[in-house]
């Protein structure tokens, strides 16, 4: 079945550091890929998405490229801020299952000033 594996946390970085959170997936067919973020005390928010191979999703300075050859969707940001501290979830959506999402285990990111 479909599955998502993400980089285990927690991850702690200093402000302005470069961020990479790895995500790989196993899926049949051609899923859509997502990154969700949960800020402290808030619900899950869609951060970015990509719906086909080689697509790049981007938002708030974050980027992720759908790599079919490596079955990956790594999240990157060139210069993180304290406000980026949150839990990040990689997810895939099955075309057959509409928006039934399969999530990774989440990565807690803490940015220190």
Instruction: Find the shortest distance in angstroms from Cβ 35 to another protein.
Output: 13
Cβ atoms of residues 69 and 80 within 8 Å:
no
Nearest residue to 113 via CA among 90, 94, 85:
85
Which of 74, 75, 86, 106 touches another protein (CB under 8 A)?
A: 106
Residues 8, 23, 107, 16, Cα dihedral to 10°: 110
Q: How buried is residue 72: exposed, middle or buried, by Cβ count under 10 Å (0-12/13-18/19+)?
A: middle
Binder among 88, 89, 107, 109 for another protein (CB under 8 A): 89
Out of 29, 69, 70, 99, point to the residue binding another protein (CB under 8 A). 99
According to CB under 8 A, which one of 21, 75, 102, 109 is a site residue for another protein? 102
Q: Does 66 bind another protein (CB under 8 A)?
A: no
* Spatial contact of 74 and 94, defined as CB atoms under 8 Å apart: no
Contact status: 32 vs another protein (CB under 8 A): yes
Binding site for another protein (CB under 8 A): 4, 32, 36, 41-46, 49, 51, 89, 91, 93, 97-106
């Amino acid at each position: 079945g479909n599955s998502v594996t993400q980089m285990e946390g927690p991850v702690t970085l200093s402000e302005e550091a470069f961020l990479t959170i790895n995500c790989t997936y196993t899926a049949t067919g051609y899923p859509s890929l997502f990154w969700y973020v949960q800020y402290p005390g808030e619900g899950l928010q869609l951060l970015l998405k990509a719906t086909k191979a080689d697509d790049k999703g981007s938002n708030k300075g974050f980027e992720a490229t759908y790599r079919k050859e490596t079955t990956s969707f790594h999240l990157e940001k060139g210069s993180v801020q304290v406000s980026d501290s949150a839990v990040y979830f990689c997810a895939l959506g099955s075309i057959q299952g509409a928006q039934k999402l399969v999530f990774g285990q989440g990565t807690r990111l803490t940015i220190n000033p």
